[in-house]
Amino acid sequence: MAAHLSYGRVNLNILREAARKELREFLDKCAGSKAIVWDEYLTGPFGLIAQYSLLKEHEVEKMFTLKAGRVPSADVKNIIFFVRPRLELMDIIAENVMSEDKLQPPREFHILFVPRRSLLCEQRLKEQGVLNSFTNIDEYILDLIPYDGDLLSMESESAFRECYLENDQTSLYHTAKGLMTLQALYGTIPQIFGKGECARHVANMMLRMKREFAGSQNQILPVFDTLLLLDRNVDLLTPLATQLTYEGLIDEIYGITNGYVKLPPEKFAQKKPGEGGKDLPTEPKKLQLNSAEELYAEIRDKNFNAVGAALSKKAKIISAAFEERHNAKTVGEIKQFVSQLPHMQAARNSLANHTSIAELIKDITTSEDFFENLTVEQEFMTGVDTDKVNTYIEDSIAQKDPLIKILRLVCMQSVCNNGLKQKVLDHYKREILQTYGYEHLLTLNNLEKVGLLKPQLTTRNNYPTIRKTLKLWMEDANEQNPNDISYVYSGYAPLSVRLTQLLARPGWRSIEEVLKMLPGPHFEERQQLPTGLHKKRQQGENRTTLVFFLGGVTYAEIAALRFLSQMEDGGTEYVIATTKLLNGTSWIKSLMDRPEAQIL
């Protein structure tokens, strides 16, 4: 069921199995039939660990969403709340428990805190007078969720906002804990590199936790050679740019949540001859996207311009495979053909789906608006006229294009210019406030706080230096047969990935100057391994590096890292971990503050 997790360099299925085991153990603790009341936010991440069938096997008969009022009646012995440790949720739970029907046979209540139990929440339950109503109060440590064969995510939407805007380091604590769990399963990671304030904080916590657990030394041969912790705010530029890989574009346009995407259904209607188009489905088409699907694994990381060719090549192979049946003469041959049928049919369905998706995306990428937007982005990234008010942005505001699009562009300009001149900045801000409403003053303020928007304090703009030293712009990006990571943005090489690449070869010492220009400290730590666990590297064996993006990572960056893993002379394979998978839109959205205006 989750075989694709075990194909990668590191078998991430071990982690998933450990998480499933723990879930089963907890469910069995509450003997008898049960209903789960979900904190809605958690259902997505949980879907990556366990399907409903697992819950059903452990006598989960009903599922509800956590809401104020009373838990719907269900003839079960146990009611289990699966919640994040949040005070506002505690109040709802208390209300649920107190309004329980006294006449019905008593149901036992349990709480499962994800990812960690909290004294503060328990205190709140105590104040509400319901703490004693719970038979079990437990925690389900779900920090890093295996997302794909080489990808782990904490699925924590607000991590960036909390860390960089609100100075709340809770998610960093969870990160450190998650990395400890990872090390318990995959061995101590001998080398830790990092860049940024948050990275430093996480590394400090990890080292501290290791000291605290001295004694319970694990005796596992390390799977990872290096851990690289990167703050998102070291590279604010990359997520702002429009991703141009297949997966990146799906995410930009339709949004991938917890590994699923919802698409407009029209293109997917099964056209049967003679039926006409009378029953067009209205429900969005939901598809799961991961490397379990062979075709998807092949094309996801390609530049979108190379996807068409790949699809048609695949189509030829599949139809050739179906043609094989004419060559099947003997019973044995026919039997063999038939045995391959399910696999072939799955491949054909997958091809049909992706052809439809590619068509949908193509409609958008060939539009003038998309082209103009991209042109402006690329101008900014190459440093053209970043110090002036941009006409395209002005016109877009005047036409009241989506606010997030505007914010992405303005922020990008600011980042590429190391801040905007006060006059330019104020002009943009005024335009935005007058067009979209004054309430966005708070959002703009937030963007300034995290450094996405800023007034230029010095006349020196160090972005060009960074761009040149790190070769962030490659004029001749080859989209079809890439030879550099810059293909993922058709020219722009993501800064974060460039840093990763340079760390592996020739090392950061060569770019000290640039590193100093980027925010936060850079550092290196070593963790002692118990004697006997030092890996003896085979000739030509690749190193494995875990790259942790604190504050989120885009699909295009992941694609770039996968590209590096596959480079023949790369010498390093990458596993990626992050607090959340994001794109410019979801990222900016998480930083917005929108007070709900009351109607006067």
The binding site for other proteins (CB under 8 A) comprises: 31, 85, 87-88, 105-106, 116, 118-120, 123, 132, 166-170, 172-173, 176, 201, 204-205, 208, 211-216, 394-395, 397-400, 426, 429-431, 433-439, 441-442, 445, 593, 595-600
Angle, alpha carbons 253-259-261 (nearest 5°):
35
Q: Which tokens is 457 given?
A: 């304090």
Q: Side chain identity at 578, as an amino acid letter? A: T
State the Cα–Cα distance between residues 582 and 157, nearest whole angstrom.
9
Helices (H), 494-567: 495-504, 512-517, 555-566
Residue 186's identity, in one-letter code, is Y
Residue 102 Cβ vs other proteins, minimum distance, rounded to whole Å = 12
Q: Strands 108-113 and 134-139, how do they pair? A: parallel
Sheet containing strand 60-65, edge to edge, reads 60-65, 34-38, 78-83, 108-113, 134-139
The count of other CB atoms within 10 Å of the CB of residue 246 is 27
Residue 260 DSSP one-character state: E
State the Cα–Cα distance between residues 259 and 256, nearest whole angstrom: 6
- Measure the CA–CA gap between 506 and 453, rounded to whole angstroms: 33
Shortest distance in whole angstroms from residue 208 CB to other proteins: 7
- As measured in angstroms, the least distance from the Cβ of 301 to other proteins is 30
Q: Where are the alpha helices (DSSP H) in 382-421?
A: 391-398, 403-416
Nearest to other proteins of 113, 246 (CB atom): 113
Q: How far is CA 275 from CA 268, 270, 285, 356, 536, in A?
A: 15, 10, 20, 20, 65
Cα separation, 42 vs 127, whole angstroms: 25
* Minimum CB–partner distance for residue 442 and other proteins (Å): 6
What minimum distance in Å lies between the beta carbon of 170 and other proteins? Answer: 4
Distance, in Å, from the CA atom of 226 to the CA atom of 205, rounded to the nearest integer, reads 17
Q: Of the two residues 231 and 557, which places its CB atom closer to other proteins in the complex?
A: 231
β-partners of residue 484 are none
- On the CB side of 265, how many CA atoms lie within 13 Å of its CA? 12
**Cβ 295 to other proteins shortest distance, Å:** 31
Cβ-based nearer residue to other proteins, 208 or 325 = 208
Question: Smallest distance, Å, CB 86 to other proteins?
Answer: 8
Closer residue to other proteins, CB minimum distance, 211 or 326: 211
Cβ proximity to other proteins: between 129 and 507 the closer is: 129
To other proteins, the closest distance from the beta carbon of 480 in angstroms equals: 21
Q: Which is nearer to other proteins, 42 or 206 (CB)?
A: 206
Are 412 and 241 spatial neighbours (Cβ–Cβ below 8 Å)?
yes
Measured from the CB atom, is 249 or 453 closer to other proteins?
453
Of the pair 106, 281, the CB lying nearest other proteins is at 106
> Would you say 445 or 510 has its CB closer to other proteins?
445
271 vs 438 by CB, closer to other proteins? 438
Do you find a cis peptide bond into 146, omega within 30 degrees of 0?
no
Structure tokens at 456: 């230029």
Alpha-carbon distance of 426 to 502, in angstroms, equals 38
Q: How far is the CB of 440 from other proteins (least distance, A)?
A: 9
Judge whether 199 and 549 are in contact, CB under 8 Å.
Answer: no
Whichever of 241 and 444 has its CB closer to other proteins, that residue is 444
User: Which amino acid would we find at residue 424?
Assistant: V
Smallest distance, Å, CB 105 to other proteins?
8
Instruction: Identify the CA nearest to 228 among candidates 530, 574, 582, 587.
Output: 574
The least CB distance from residue 451 to other proteins, in Å, is 16
